[in-house]
Amino acid sequence: MLLQILRTYLRPYKREIGYVMGLQLVATIASLSLPSLNADIIDKGVVLGDTAYIMRMGGWMLGVTVLQIACTIAAVYLGARSAMAFGRDVRSGFFRQVASFSSREVGKFGAPSLITRNTNDVQQVQMLVMLGFTLMVSAPITMVGGVIMALREDVGLSWLVAAAVPVLVAATGFIISRMVPGFRRMQRYLDDVNRVMREQITGIRVIRAFVREPHESGRFGAANDDLSDVSIDVGRWMSAMFPTVMFVMNASSVAVLWFGGIRIDEGLMQIGALTAFITYLVQILMAVMMSTFMLVMVPRASVSADRIGEVLGTSSSVVPPEEGITEVNTRGGLEFREVGFTYAGAEHPVLCDVNFSAAAGQTTAIIGSTGAGKSTLLNLIPRLFDVSEGTITVDGVDVRDFDPEALWQRIGLVPQKAYLFSGTIASNLRYGKPDATEEEMWEALEIAQATDFVSAMSDGLDSDVAQGGTNLSGGQRQRIAIARAIIRQPEVYLFDDSFSALDVATDARLRQALRPVTRDATVLIVAQRVFTITEADQIVVLEDGDVVGLGSHDELLTTCPTYQEIVESQLKAEAS
């Protein structure tokens, strides 16, 4: 999956990557040639006492150094840009994929997980790419180049390279293999500690009410200890890393001096080659170490890549039609025909054999206990989910044959949880109608009984709204959400228990004001309070996904036992 994502999203940057590699190649060769030039200075300049030569070679070294920095900077520039552009593209592709999802897929992954995948996981992969651009090229070249150069200096000592590299790989590999699982556990425990901390703050009243402070402290203490223990464990392995690497490198230098000394004494090697050889060996070992580090990142990035790929590979269960219907001349209301809905893999259907029709101008109320399937029924109309069986028609057209935009244009939804977007009151209302004028906005707010509090806010329509609308009260949120639907002037209103947070008087005024606006529309309303729906044209009574009653209030009072119970539960008081 990692490779597939890399292949797909790096393709547009093929040329840049080519340049990066070329530049890195030049830079690496330049830095590899420095010790060799230094060896020349010693062998041909110092030993022969040729100061002019020393100066000339010094000039060369300076030139090579400048070339190296120039190439490196250019490579870093292109590399950083391509890697970050890669991240940007993956994020964008991911975002578009999620946008195409239906509520079912979003629900399957869960919004928080999708958010993490879209940013954190992409970042992981992006960092690997970034590191790859600098190391993937320079490390192997340094290794190969270093070996070649070392061989050029002296073949007889090359066995030292062959001995030192495996020792270093084994030592660092061992330490890293101990560290990596620790890092993972550390991250998990850190999340745990922070979660407990967060829960203590969000649940402070409950904790204090139940006198659970000692219990919470215990829970926190355990998480804290776990985190500290694994941090210490990881930290100790980490402190072994640097000394080990240093020792291997230094021991190699010592070995080169000893065995090099023997070869020089035998006249097989020049003294300058000795210094150069040490430098090359150290460079090779450094490159080996960096590669080992990089390899450590691969599994982590690969997990992230899998998580991204999982989303990219999921297609929406709600597929828009090739050529959707955009224009319908009739206003035929809404019809449910033998509609059933079952979650994938679930034993019991959420909705089963739902039949009813609602003409334009009619109000249909849906009532039933928590979990009876009321919201699901509503969500099927704008195709947030697709029916498993049967059909739903709007204006006589199967909702699945509509162009999605055209379908949604006909619908005004007020969800159960009045979610507002960050911005202003006005920007939220424009969600309903992008080109709404101020008058239209005030009109909608007036109907939604929101004029009072909006005009009381210091900036009126331009007052800030926090994400989710958390700076407004539940009732205020609901009224804005209602205004957002009204301003759209849709053919079909879907109210999903949208008046629950309103006090009774406001509720009544709102319904009164809504009446003229919804005169020609089809209204579906999920309700809890019976008295708010007694005059609906028809009431659908749901019980565990089945329609157990359909008719007017008076009819249902005589025919439907479930309805009677519901009414009983609410109106009993009044009847007495």
Query: Which residues between 444 and 473 bind other proteins (CB under 8 A)?
Result: 464, 466-468, 470-471, 473
Among residues 65 and 338, whose Cβ is nearest to other proteins?
A: 65
Chain residues 526-555 in contact with other proteins, contact rule CB under 8 A: 528-537
Query: Is 239 a residue that touches other proteins (CB under 8 A)?
Result: yes
Among residues 110 and 338, whose Cβ is nearest to other proteins?
A: 110
Provide the mask over 484-503, with x wherever binding to other proteins is found by CB under 8 A and - wherever it is not.
x---x-----------x--x
**With contacts defined by CB under 8 A, how many residues of the chain interact with other proteins?**
181
CB 359 within 8 A of CB 522: yes
Q: Which residue has tokens 């080996």?
A: 288
Query: Is 14 a residue that touches other proteins (CB under 8 A)?
Result: no
Structure tokens at 180: 């990596």
CB 495 within 8 A of CB 443: no
Query: Is 51 a residue that touches other proteins (CB under 8 A)?
Result: yes
Q: Give the bridge partners for 337, in sequence order.
A: 391
Query: Is 49 a residue that touches other proteins (CB under 8 A)?
Result: yes
Among 11, 12, 14, 69, binds other proteins (CB under 8 A): 69
Min CB(476)–other proteins separation in Å: 10
Calpha distance 136→31 (Å, rounded): 16
Among 33, 342, 362, 391, binds other proteins (CB under 8 A): 362
Among 21, 23, 32, 61, binds other proteins (CB under 8 A): 61
Among 204, 222, 298, 319, binds other proteins (CB under 8 A): 204
Among residues 12 and 110, whose Cβ is nearest to other proteins?
A: 110
| Percent helix, strand and coil across the chain, each to the nearest 5 | 70, 10, 20
Q: Which residue has tokens 């994502």?
A: 5
Helices and strands per DSSP (H, E), number in the chain: 19, 12
Q: Give the bridge partners for 424, in sequence order.
A: 464
Reference 142, options 297, 31, 23; nearest CA is 31
Calpha distance 165→172 (Å, rounded): 11
Reference 91, options 9, 32, 205, 24; nearest CA is 9
Chain residues 422-441 in contact with other proteins, contact rule CB under 8 A: 422-424, 427-428, 430-432, 434
CB 347 within 8 A of CB 369: no
Query: Is 25 a residue that touches other proteins (CB under 8 A)?
Result: no
The residues, any chain, with a CB within 8 Å of residue 442's CB and separated by 6 or more, are 451, 461
Among residues 319 and 338, whose Cβ is nearest to other proteins?
A: 319
Q: Which residue stretch of 213-221, 293-301, 327-335, 442-450 sits at the interface with other proteins (rule: CB under 8 A)?
A: 213-221
The alpha-helical segments, DSSP class H, found in 41-157 are 51-100, 103-109, 111-116, 122-153
Among residues 337 and 529, whose Cβ is nearest to other proteins?
A: 529
Min CB(198)–other proteins separation in Å: 6
Among residues 242 and 338, whose Cβ is nearest to other proteins?
A: 242
Query: Is 73 a residue that touches other proteins (CB under 8 A)?
Result: yes
Q: Which residue stretch of 5-13, 176-184, 228-236, 299-307 sits at the interface with other proteins (rule: CB under 8 A)?
A: 228-236
Q: Which contacts qualify for 14-19: CB closer than 8 Å, 24 or more apart? A: 16/78, 16/81, 16/82, 17/82, 17/133, 19/74, 19/75, 19/78
**Residue 248 phi, psi dihedral angles, 5° rounding:** -60, -45
Chain residues 381-420 in contact with other proteins, contact rule CB under 8 A: 382, 384, 404-405, 408-409, 411, 413, 415, 419
Min CB(84)–other proteins separation in Å: 4
Q: Give the bridge partners for 546, in sequence order.
A: 352, 543
Q: DSSP letters along 154-165, please?
A: -STTHHHHHHHH
Q: Which residue stretch of 245-253, 329-337, 389-397, 440-448 sits at the interface with other proteins (rule: CB under 8 A)?
A: 245-253
Min CB(404)–other proteins separation in Å: 8
Handedness of CA 27, 31, 33, 34 (dihedral sign): positive
Min CB(482)–other proteins separation in Å: 12
- 213-265 vs 271-312: helix crossing angle, rounded to 10: 150
CB 343 within 8 A of CB 372: no
Min CB(78)–other proteins separation in Å: 9
Min CB(567)–other proteins separation in Å: 9
Query: Is 24 a residue that touches other proteins (CB under 8 A)?
Result: no
Chain residues 171-200 in contact with other proteins, contact rule CB under 8 A: 190, 193-195, 197-200
Min CB(547)–other proteins separation in Å: 17
Query: Is 359 a residue that touches other proteins (CB under 8 A)?
Result: no
Buried (b) or exposed (e) across 536-547, using 16+ Cβ within 10 A? bebbbbbbebbb
Min CB(151)–other proteins separation in Å: 20
Query: Is 525 a residue that touches other proteins (CB under 8 A)?
Result: yes
Provide the mask over 98-127, with x wherever binding to other proteins is found by CB under 8 A and - wherever it is not.
xx-x-x--xx--xxx-xx--xx--------
Q: DSSP letters along 507-524, please?
A: HHHHHHHHHHHTTTSEEE
Chain residues 309-338 in contact with other proteins, contact rule CB under 8 A: none
Query: Is 222 a residue that touches other proteins (CB under 8 A)?
Result: no
Among residues 24 and 338, whose Cβ is nearest to other proteins?
A: 24
Calpha distance 124→116 (Å, rounded): 11
Cβ atoms within 10 Å of 306's Cβ, excluding its own: 14
Min CB(98)–other proteins separation in Å: 6
Min CB(470)–other proteins separation in Å: 6
Q: Which residue has tokens 């005004």?
A: 412
Structure tokens at 249: 């490198």
Among 253, 357, 489, 559, binds other proteins (CB under 8 A): 253
**Whole-number CA gyration radius for the chain:** 36
